[in-house]
Structure 1
């Protein structure tokens, strides 16, 4: 939920770096060979372990497809732009820290020109970036966008794994009514061509933290990205959105392709991401989602932990007349987020819609810590034909479980959930189509929702310490709707989703 527009990377220079790419030099030998870079090396060397090169850029401009470039530990104060691909037959070209050593790509003192990555991949296939620390790419220039790893154009079979990315910052003073011009990213993937997409993309096991993002995101996929896995990343302590899947921003030149789609966001831990101290936002704004789908379609968000953010998970569309569709949010644990646990629909009636999506088997616990009244589930403008089943909702001190303030929302199915407020059902509140209901029986009879749902203590093992497994006596056991088309095959811990006579309610089976 960003009430100020995200940076639009329209008109990117898709040929960035091509002047130095696509020409193999005589120094490179057969594909599959190992090459080495070390701070003590020389680019006039052979690139072997005994005679390493000195710069990452020389290696990128030299090695043939399928090579493995091992970078010895140390600090490399340079930018790396990769414009030459690996191949299906010879394998990916790999850039990786050597063994247990850590190669640090450090942007201290380097300029930021436009939209630029400290490590940048432009129109490439079969490239892996693994095991680097990427840091200190900082600018105070308005409209410059420093990025830790920046992938753009089209291409596939790209793997960004096990990198630590931090202190990527834009510290410019935002100006104008919308406070724009201050943007940065930890990892950004922009599919800027059509019909050719960025596809077969893996972003796994990275840590992103201490990022100063302005009106942008920690890890973002935007535009024509078709087929991806964002898995097992740790994203924390940043001043805006954690993970964002975006459509309809004009990133791809053809609107038919301008949506992030057919991917999974799985097993990530996202926490302490907030715009509270971000000068690109008003002081009372709380719109940074831990995980956000803004205009994407056909994506699965599962087995993630999202906590202490402004919003746990949001599936919405910021663009009027545009739809976020067929998003499945399942088996996630979402707790202690400031505004709400899950938000769906446009944040006002000038935005787009959320349709045909599923929110199933999630555990939402004491979100709405601001006491704003947005509850555990915030149903916003233009939500249609969505399914909300098998979720545990435990209210915060506001006593609000679901807040739906729009009368025109329609076709949403809400059932087989478990609700709880420590003070009891009589004090619990739901708002549905802008009408407030107090008490569980009153809410059910007044809305027709939740005919098979429960109001009971879910009996977590230790919620105070973040353990949301169910005790053996929990009423959530075997109380859900076993709809194999939407519940998936695994719970939050990767265990089989159905063990007993029916599925459990909540993230834990």
Structure 2
């Protein structure tokens, strides 16, 4: 079941579905590198029988095909016999299988809680992958609780190269305001990708290279999970109409599935913009979130405070309603080499572009923090062991805390009004950063030079 929950303990609300829907909607809802798909196989142990030949059984991974012109009565085993729905393939997958999704628009059926609900797991040596067919651009479009939902303790799943579109285009602000107390309306409260692990922790999930937009609630919502990589996604126009506090990319109540204290959660190389709230969060009656990226209440996970580290790096966040990036009641987080530009579009949200609040063991290094004059660049609310350093702030920014090697200057973006945040040759960000040994490339995959990094998501040369 895909269930959302909100933190009544948190100043920052997160995506929720009403607990009362438990009986109505079933099956809602890393350090792994991007690697080439390899056909996987597993072999049953061979047994020797007297005076018999050696007997073995081999199970080979399967590739399923889905097409906008397919039919669920087909075998799904070739492009010419493709399934029509992704769910049909999802219900058949086993470890090592791949689902290749061809051109088409894939919508939820009338009473479904999601377009595709993923509950069958891969394993460490044989992930299950849902991918766009090479050269194709499939679209998942929905007006329900989620486009893609992962739940029921699912693990070792990759979602790669899909476009997920919510229902915002069919909703007016007036209608959304008329629903501001309605917790059971999926048309306004639906998310694009929902990872729901509060009942059973979800783990080892890769969300890669997707276009995620126009969902009334969260863009990519990760709740109660471990070992998740959110990499190279474009996330925009989400969080507009839900009664819950949502953001473009949110990690809520990260959950320990082992004792590893290294990097386990990754939010990297994403472009996140124009996510904001227009409807008050029902928990406070105020606009609370609409951030680009947030790590929320990881100190209060179901299995205790989250012990693993989270890396937030090489992201570009701009013109979101709340912050570009921030942590709330969370710890063990590195926010490195991001570019945040003119976030805080909601007038009542004034805590900064990139900051930590009520957090500990957070490092905020090498970020470009661009504000209009007189606006806050950062905050320092009841933090312990939170370090800001080697960041670039623009002239006129209100800087609450400034590190010893932070600088004030002009990043000299190529064309920020059109979303081009590459650096010009005169940028103050060039060669002004700190060498962060765990981050070798910029947001385009270009190697960062040893020694002094450039500040921000882009390396100039």
Check the 8 A contact 1:186/1:218 in 2, yes or no.
yes
| Alignment partner, residue 264 of structure 1 | 266
Query: Within 5 A, what are the aligned runs for 1:155-166?
Result: 155-166=154-165
* TM-score where L is the length of structure 1: 0.63
Instruction: Say if 2:336 is the partner of 1:330.
Output: yes
Alignment deviations for residues 376-404 of structure 1 (CA, whole Å, 9 cap, x no partner): 11333x21111111111114xxx333236
1:498: Cα distance to partner? 3.6
Whether the 8 Å CA contact 2:63–2:100 is kept in 1: the answer is no
**Contact 1:360–1:391 (CA under 8 A) maintained in structure 2:** yes
Inter-partner Cα distance in structure 1 for 2:191 and 2:316: 21
Matches within 5 A, 1:221-236: 221-223=222-224, 225-236=225-236
- Distance apart, 1:32 and its partner CA: 3.9
RMSD: 4.0
Structure 2 CA distance for aligned equivalents of residues 34 and 394 of structure 1: 51
For the 8 Å contact 1:274–1:309, the answer to whether it is kept is yes
Q: If the length of structure 2 is used for normalisation, what is the TM-score?
A: 0.69
Aligned residue for 2:398?
A: 401
User: Where do residues 162-177 of structure 1 align in structure 2 (5 Å cutoff)?
Assistant: 162-168=161-167, 173-174=178-179
The alpha-carbon deviation at position 192 of structure 1 amounts to 3.5
- Aligned partner of 1:365 in structure 2 is 370
Separation in 1, partners of 2:202, 2:17? 18
Please report how far the alpha carbon of residue 468 of structure 1 lies from its aligned counterpart in structure 2 after TM superposition.
4.2
Cα 1:53–1:502 change in 2 (3 A) is closer
1:52 aligns with 2:81: yes
More strand by share: 1
1:385 aligns to 2:335 (yes or no): no
> Is contact 1:167-1:209 (8 Å) kept?
yes
Residue correspondences, number = 380
Alpha carbons of 1:379 and 1:8: their partners in 2 closer, same or farther (altered >3 Å)? farther
How far apart in 1 are the matches of 2:388 and 2:143? 42
Mark the CA change 1:464 to 1:295 in structure 2 (over 3 Å): closer, same or farther. Answer: same
Aligned counterpart for 2:406 among listed residues 414, 417, 441: 417
Retained in 2: the 8 A contact 1:276–1:286? no
Superimposed CA distance per residue, residues 336-371 of structure 1 (whole angstroms, 9 cap, x where no aligned partner): 2124311320xxxxxxx2111111111111258xx6
Which protein, 1 or 2, shows the higher relative CO under an 8 Å CA cutoff with sep ≥ 6?
2
**Is the CA contact (8 Å cut-off) linking 1:43 and 1:58 kept in structure 2?**
no
Distance 1:222 1:299 in 2: 14
Q: Work out whether residues 394 and 401 of structure 1, in 8 Å CA contact, stay in contact via their aligned partners in 2.
A: no
For structure 2, the residue ranges without an aligned partner over 5 or more in a row are: 1-9, 29-57, 133-137, 241-245, 299-305
User: Given the superposition, is the C-alpha separation of residues 312 and 492 from structure 1 closer, same or farther in structure 2, using an over 3 Å criterion?
Assistant: farther
Contact in 2 for aligned 1:264/1:301 (Cα 8 Å): yes
Structure 1 residues 344, 464: CA separation in 2 closer, same or farther (over 3 Å shift)? same
